[in-house]
Amino acid sequence: MRQVPALPVVGSFAERLLADDLPDLTAERRHEAVTFIAHRVDTLPSFTRFGVLLIGTSFRILMAVPGGWALSGIVMRLPLPFVGEYPRLVRSLGFAYVWEHWPSTSPTGAAAGAS
Amino acid sequence: MADPRPERWAAPRTTVVTGATGWLGRALVHRLVADPTRERLRLLAHSTAEAQALRASLAGRPGVEVMIGDIARAETAKRLVYGVGSDTDVLHAAGVIHPKKVRQFTEVNANGTRHVTEAAIDAGIRRMVHVSSNSPFGTNPHRDDTFRADEPFHPYLGYGRSKMMGEMAVAEAVAAGLDATIVRPPWFYGPFQPPRQTTFFRLVRAGKFPVIGKGDQRRSMVYVDNLVDGVLAAELTPTAKGNGYWIADARPYTVDEIVETVGRALVDEGFSVKPPTTRLPTLAARVAETTDRLLQGVGVYQQQLHVLGEMGHTIACDISRSVAELGWEPQVELYEGMRRSIRWCVEQGLEL
Amino acid sequence: MIAQHATASMDAEVLVVGSGAGGATTATVLAEAGFDVLVVEEGAWVEQGAVVPFSLDQMDQQYRAGGVTVALGMPSIAYTEGRCAGGGTEVNSGLYWRPPGELLERWHRDFRIADFDPDELLAIADEVETVINVRTVPGNHSEPSDVLRRGAAALGWRHGEIPRWMTYPHADQPDKGERQSMTRTYLPRAVAAGARLVVGCRVDRLEMSRGTASAAHTTLADGTSGTIRFRHVFVCGGAIQSPALLQRSGVHGHIGRTLAVHPTVKLAARFADALNVPDDVPVHQVKEFAPHLSFGGSASNPGLVALSLLDQWSTFRRAITDWQRMSVYYAAITSEGTGRVRSFPGMADPVVTYRLTHRDRELLRSGLARLTLLMLEAGAEEVFPSFQGAPAVKTRRDVATMQRAFGVNRATVMTVHLCSTVPMGEVEGRCGADSFGKVVGCHNVYVNDASLLPTAPGVNPQASVMAFAIRNARRFAAGGSRG
């Protein structure tokens, strides 16, 4: 059974989330982290993967409308079951990747030595 | 582990007691006046009427000085230790537990304690004993849990917050050089109880004491004489500055055991007791607690609601460190303590 | 490598599904008793030392789904499963805890486990400890471990060093231990006794007919299908995969309904001096509040330190530059809640759910607060609890603020101990397997892993898993089951 690849679904959302959390992360590093995130989503157990892609698609649609990103921020903070866990999953994977590969990254994502 | 009984200091020349007309205060004073080595006693009463009653009861005991004042005011504390000299201990037993207004918690329990510690530092006294509570630590997370000697603060509502602030004032004073010890009694019982406490016996007699859920919540309690012993041990035992000690009966009781034991004590003192009938679901205690929280949020304190809300919880503490370090041990347990308490009420002509 | 690659058609007298603490010990006992044993493992063979412990690379190679598995609920609980030759024994911290005697008595009584002698089980534990080389550190402990020791000592809380499955080839290098695991101990022994070990082979389903299983349908690493014929099968895939496989095979009964875990919450603590050890975990644990509540240290490489700050990143982010002065710690509880493992037709993986009780939530709050207090007593400059809305804690007063702000639903809750999905014993409606692991209603299907443990033990369950697996396998070997 072929599965839907995760990158097109979670890619832009993950890019945006990481850019917000780590504004000084270079585009190249961010892209690398996002690729890793998508790879991990691809290997999730079937039901979780389905849920993540479903929520991911909803966020993608939301982001496409004007003011959608701000609205996404509000939705993420709502105490809705599972919805808040999607951004948490994406951020967790991204952060783990960034600091495991570049441990001297600054709190805003800048590479060592940069300010 | 069998430590020898630690050394004790001799009684100081002057003993200062705040809250001398309260439940604990009266029991404490009763003991202090009987000790001839307590040369001078300076006692703080809250009102003229209370002071007169106290003076009358101590007539003939030399060296007793009763002062009137509100500990919530800084000058009261200053006056209290004025000219006492360094051979002085301050036993700070003043506190408010069931106030008319929520703000009294802060005024008395937090600010009052701060005033006492500041005055004590200035006066250069020997040691202060601060009477705290279980309330800065809240309730145990589940019924098998027991508070250890040192626990993180998690104050239970307004009272708990104010008692936490009191403890923090003591900790700051210790950092500034004061020798102070904290004693933490849970729910206490015994002679000198205020008239409102007779409700407790009446509810048990009527079989209407509200037992929440299965009644298997554990509660540490302390017989007031055990507490007086503990306060004096904390005063006179040379321990590290700033330590806190649980002062409670030897073991926690379950709520069911408390109701059963009190009923038995009442019967054995010749009272009729109906079998317990009032069992409330856990939800009732949760609703009461939430309502209490909301009311306290707008400054209103409702005693019944507060007591009911707390009844659903376990509040159990482990006294082993107090026993080891203070060389103190509780002498009386629940049944005997309750019988003495009932007899005292009868002697006072209180209706049970 | 002693493992072989799978082929489309295989057969064995006894098929063992899974090569972790349960499967490897089962295979060893049965092979040494003369059975023709085939062990199939879904994951790969990865040599110890080939990947950095607790790294993302290790997660990719040795964990199921790269380590991203979750029990859904409010809150959801992240968990991990080993998926490689040796299973969870290859990737965990190697801390070893015998099942407490009092717990064995309770299991015996409450689940009416027949012919069960706790002393016999502890005698097996003795054997296991020799085989896997359980021992303490021959020298100084790491600084993150000492934090737990001195914090607990200051508070007068019971604590101690937990022995590990470790060898120390150089006596003067207590930080250069070599962890032992199934690939180094029981699996080679099973193979030496004639067992065959096959990796990259997933069992999708057992073919069942009136309670008897005759074949396993498999998927190999290259995506092709295969079949294994056997006379007896031991399902040892762990507490999630074992019930899932039984469910997919149409086995009903008390399977997958009582998942038990040790939920944990965590914090990162910053100290005055560098202490971070990226590739190892502390060996001290604090057991003052056991079995309800335990404290220990977590893996703390910079990625994991960043993760522990993530929930409150807007205010905690400043700390990440100090990761060398930080270490991550956890508070674990014995939960009264339960979880479920459910399989649905057409889905390769089960749906796992877990529900915490009110008491569990209170205990997690209190646990995190007590752990924070311990950190302050151990000299932490600042403590960062892992939940949304958490304050940074520097003083005792801040701990009160923290407890007030805490909500489990906003916390990162995780677990590494999963058990009790096929509880063993003789209580109808409560046990999925009999007193020796034979699945209720089946004639030749056994479970022999963490699924059998009647409840979560409150300590690392692997010692219990190995001891029970050996006990049950010996019983099978002695029972004339060859028919």
pTM over 0.90: yes
Cα B161 to Cα B173: distance, rounded to the nearest angstrom: 18
- How far is A53 from C375, CA to CA, in rounded Å? 40
Any domain includes A107: no
Query: Is A94 contained in some domain?
Result: yes
- Looking at residue B258, its pLDDT comes to 96
**Count of alpha carbons within 13 Å of B135, Cβ hemisphere only?**
24
Could you list the residue range(s) of the whole structural domain that residue B235 is in? 14-193+221-249+316-332
Distance CA B121, CA C357 (A): 48
Does residue A73 fall inside a structural domain?
yes
Cα gap B111→B98, rounded to integer Å: 17
Q: Nearest chain B residue to C151 by CA: give it.
A: B150
Cα C121 to its chain centre, rounded Å, is 20
Following CA atoms C76, A38, C199, C9 in sequence, which dihedral angle do they give, to the nearest 10 degrees?
A: 100
Taking 70 as the threshold, does the pLDDT of residue A93 lie above it?
yes
Determine, yes or no, domain membership for B173.
Answer: yes
Contact B38, B10 (CB under 8 A): no
Give A115's pLDDT tier (boundaries 50, 70, 90). very low
The answer to whether the CB atoms of A99 and C310 lie below 8 A apart is no
Contact between C155 and B152 using a beta-carbon 8 Å cutoff: no
Q: What is the DSSP letter of B9?
A: P
Rounded to the nearest 10 degrees, what angle do helices A85-101 and A7-21 cross at?
70
Those residues whose C-beta lies under 8 Å from the C-beta of residue B228, and which sit 6 or more positions away, are B24, B27, B28, B31
State whether A79 and C303 contact (CB < 8 Å): no
Sheet holding C178-179, edge to edge: C134-135, C164-167, C178-179
* Closest residue on chain C to A38 (Cα): C66
The Cα C88–Cα C95 span in angstroms is: 12
C479 contact partners, CB below 8 Å, separation of at least 6: none
Q: Which amino acid is at B247?
A: I
What is the residue whose two structure tokens read 């690729």? A35
Q: Is residue A33 part of a domain?
A: yes
Distance, C-alpha C162 to centroid of its chain: 16
* Domain extent for A54: 7-101
| Residue C400 phi, psi dihedral angles, 5° rounding | -65, -45
Cα–Cα nearest to C351, from C337, C340, C365: C340
Pairing of strands C338-342, C196-199: unpaired
Per-residue model confidence (pLDDT) at position C21 = 98
* Count of Cβ atoms closer than 10 Å to residue C18 Cβ: 29
Residue C116 sits at the vertex; the CA angle it makes with C111 and C122, to the nearest 5 degrees, is: 115
CATH code assigned to C4-45+84-133+180-253+419-478: 3.50.50.60
pLDDT in tens, chain B (352 residues): 445 567 899 999 999 999 999 999 999 999 999 999 999 999 999 999 999 999 999 999 999 999 999 999 999 999 999 999 999 999 999 999 989 888 999 999 999 999 999 999 999 999 999 999 999 999 999 999 999 999 999 999 999 999 999 999 999 999 999 999 999 999 999 999 988 888 899 999 999 998 999 999 999 999 999 999 999 999 999 999 999 999 999 999 999 999 999 999 999 999 999 998 888 898 888 898 999 898 988 888 888 888 888 889 999 999 999 999 999 999 999 999 999 999 999 999 998 8
**C/A Cβ contact: 3+ pairs below 8 Å:** yes
pLDDT at C482: 45
Q: Give the C-alpha separation, A74 to C118, whole Å.
A: 55
* Chains contacting C (3 or more CB pairs within 8 Å): A, B
The string of pLDDT tens digits covering residues C149-172 is 999 999 999 999 999 999 999 888
Distance CA A6, CA A35 (A): 10
- CATH code for the domain of B50: 3.40.50.720
Rounded distance between C-alpha atoms, residue B316 and residue B319, angstroms: 10
* B161 in a structural domain: yes
DSSP strand pairing (B14-18 vs B88-92):
parallel
For residue A53, the chain C residues in CB contact (below 8 A) are: none
Q: Which of C423, C428, C432, C436 is nearest to C120 (CA)?
A: C436
DSSP-assigned states of every residue in B10-45:
PPPSEEEEESTTSHHHHHHHHHHHT-TT--EEEEEE
Q: List CB contacts of C290: < 8 A, sequence separation 6 or more.
A: C158, C458, C459
ipTM for the assembly: 0.94
State how far the Cα of A96 lies from the Cα of B342, in Å rounded to an integer: 65
Give, in order, the Cα–Cα distances in Å from B309 to each of B132, B195, B221, B229, B283.
21, 22, 17, 30, 10
CA atoms of C117 and C108, how far apart (whole Å): 8
Closest chain A residue to C316, measured at CA: A107
Neighbours of A74 (CB within 10 A): 8
Tally of domains within chain B: 1
At C456 the three-state DSSP class reads coil
Q: Show Cβ contacts of residue B155 under 8 Å, excluding neighbours closer than 6 positions.
A: B135, B136, B137, B138, B161, B163, B164, C400
Out of C156, C359, C399, closest to residue B153 by CB: C399
Residues in chain A with CB shorter than 8 Å from the CB of C55 are 100
* Closest alpha carbon to C285 in C269, C301, C298: C298
Residues of C in contact with B141 (CB under 8 A): 359, 362-363, 365-367
- Contact between A45 and C65 using a beta-carbon 8 Å cutoff: yes
B275 assigned to some structural domain: no
Place of tokens 């569990």: C360
d(CA C119, CA C267) in angstroms, rounded, equals 38
Of C91, C66, C83, C67, the C-alpha closest to C19 is C83
Tell if the CB–CB gap between C302 and A93 is shorter than 8 Å: no
Cα–Cα distances in angstroms (integers) from residue B64 to residues B27, B44, B67, B235, C299, in the given order: 16, 11, 10, 19, 64
Query: What pLDDT, on a 0 to 100 scale, did the predictor assign at position B284?
Result: 87
Q: Which residues contact B289 (CB under 8 A, 6 or more apart)?
A: B309, B310, B312
Residues of chain C with pLDDT under 50: 482-483
Q: DSSP states of C330-342 as a string?
A: EEEE--S-EEEEE
Residue C357 sits at the chain B interface (C-beta within 8 Å): no
Is residue B240 situated within a structural domain?
A: yes
Instruction: Give the model's pLDDT for residue A71.
Output: 87
Catalytic residues of C: 417
Question: A115 in a domain, yes or no?
Answer: no
